[in-house]
Amino acid sequence: MNTEKPSRRPTVFVTGASQGIGAGIAVEMARQGYDVAVSSTRPEKLSPVLEQIAAAGARALPVELQIRDQSSIERAMAAVTAEFGGLDVLVNNAAVALRKAALDFTPQEWADIMETNLTGTFFMSQAMGRHLIATKRAGSIISITSTHGMVGMAQRSAYGIAKAGVIHMARMLAIEWAEHGILVNTVAPGAVITESRNAMPTDPNHAKVRMARIPLKKLCTVDDVAAAVAYLASPQASYITGQTLVLDGGVTSQ
C-alpha cells in the first residue's frame, strides 16, 4: 500500500476574472495544475469561468470582491486561504478604464480609477504579502498592467498613470519582500483582443495605421497574457522579481 500523502496542488487567486483577460488567466492556471479562486463584484457572472476551470480538472472557488473596500479585500483573502488551506499565487487583474481627455476629468472619475487600479492592487498585494509571510511560504504576486503605463497616449491619462504606479509598485514590493521569497512582477500587454472587444479600430484607415506601428503585425491575445502569467508563476521564473513582461509586439522597443 502506498502510504505517501498526495502532493498539495498549488493555488492561485485571480481577481476580476468573470471575462476577458482574467477569465483566460484563470483557465490557463487550472490547466497548469492550480486550484483557482476567481473574483467579481457580481459572483453570479463567474459561472462560465467556473465551469471551464472545473473542466480542466481543477478546484474552482468563486469569491465576491469589491476591490475598493478594505473589508471586502480582507474577507475575500480569508475565504480563499481558508478554503484552499493557503495561497501560492495572486494575480491582480481587476481594473477599470476610462477614455477621456485630461482636461475633462472630474475628481470623482480620477478617484474611481486610482482607487481600483492602484490602491486596490496595493492592498490586495499587501494582504497576500501578509499571508505568505505569516505562513512562511514563498509565493508570487503578478499584476496586470498596460503599455499605457510605459508610454504616453492621449485620453488615457488617469489609466496610464495608475498602471505606471502598479509597475513601480512591483519594484518596491519585490525589494521589500525578497527576503521572504516573495516574487512580485507585472505583465504589460498592449492592445488585447477579447471576446467582448476587438482592439483594432473599425475604421480601416485607422486600423491600417495602428497595425503599421506593431513590428510583429498582430495584436496580443488573451492566451498570450495567460501564458505570460503562467510562466511568471512557474518554477522556471523563480529568479525573476521586480520586472515587467511587456506583450506589445515590439511597439515600445521602437
Positions marked active-site: 159
- Which DSSP state fits 197? B
**CA–CA separation, 139 and 53 (whole Å):** 21
**How far from the centroid of its chain's Cα atoms is residue 158's Cα?**
18
Give SS3 for 98: coil
State the CB neighbour count (10 A cutoff) for residue 188: 24
By the 8 A CB rule, do 193 and 182 touch?
no
Name the residue type at position 154: A
Strand arrangement, sheet containing 139-144: 60-64, 35-40, 11-14, 89-92, 139-144, 182-189, 244-247
State the CB neighbour count (10 A cutoff) for residue 122: 16
